[in-house]
Amino acid sequence: MTAAAPIDFWFDFASPYGYLMAEKIDALAERHGRAVRWRPVLLFAVLRALSLPAPLESAVKRDYMLRDFDRSARHLGVAFRLPEGFPAPTQHLARGFYLVDAVDPVAARRFALAAMRAYFTEGAAIGDMANVARWMSAQRPSLGDETACLEALRGAEAKALLAQAVDEAVRQRVFGSPFVVVDGEPFFGVDRLPQIAAWLEGTLGPP
C-alpha cells in the first residue's frame, strides 16, 4: 500500500468499454501499489449536464462501435457478448453499488464485477430492481434479505449517493465511459490502458 491517492475509475454499468476496463484496472493499479476507487454513474445524465450527445446516437458510429466492442474484447482476452436490449438502464445497479460500497467497498467491487460479467456474457437483466436487490444481499448479507435491499434501493440514501457521484463526474468533466483519473491526469477509453500503464511507470508523464 501507498500514501498516493486512489485512482478514480468512472464508468457506466451498461458501457462495454467500461466493462473491459473493469476487468483490467485493478490488476494494473495493484502492480504499482495503487488503489482504485470504482465510481459508477449514469452516463446519459453526465453527458446531458455537459451538453454532449449520447455515444450511440449516430448510426454510423454505432455500427462501428458494435464491431469494435467485440474486437476490443478479443484483443484484451475478455469474454463478451452484446446483451439483448443493450443498453440497459443502470440506475438501480448503480444505487445498489453505492449502498454496498458505503458499508463494504470490497464487496461492492465484487458485486459490480459480477453484475457486469453476468450482463456482458449472459445478458442478465441488470436493469431489474429485484435482481439488483438479490445480488446485493448475496454479496453483503448484513444488508438484509432481498426485500430489505429492495426497500433500500427505493430509499433516499440510494438516490442521494448516486446523485452525488453524477454531480462529481460532471464537475470532473467525465465525458465518457470508462474515464480513469490518475493524480489529476484524465484518461478516456479502455484503449488508454497502455498509456495508464506507462504513466504509472513514470515513462510517459507528466510533460
Piece in contact with its own copies (CB under 8 A), picked from 31-39, 125-133, 159-167, 192-200: 192-200
77 vs 99: CA distance, rounded Å: 31
C-alpha cell, 67: 464491431
Which member of 6, 37, 48, 68 binds its own copies (CB under 8 A)? 68
| 207 is a site residue for its own copies (CB under 8 A) | yes
Choose which of 31, 61, 81, 154 interacts with its own copies (CB under 8 A). 61
Contacts of 84 (CB under 8 A, 6+ apart): 123
Q: Is 173 in the site for its own copies (CB under 8 A)?
A: yes
Determine if 66 is a binding residue for its own copies (CB under 8 A).
no
Element (H, E) at 153: helix 146-154
Closest CA to 168 of 25, 34, 41: 41
**81 contacts its own copies (rule: CB under 8 A):** no
175 binds its own copies (CB under 8 A): yes
Question: 6 — alpha (psi -120 to 50), left (phi > 0) or beta?
Answer: beta
Q: Given the rule CB under 8 A, which residues bind its own copies? A: 50-53, 58, 60-61, 63-64, 67-68, 70-72, 74-75, 173, 175, 186, 188-189, 191-192, 194-195, 198, 204-205, 207
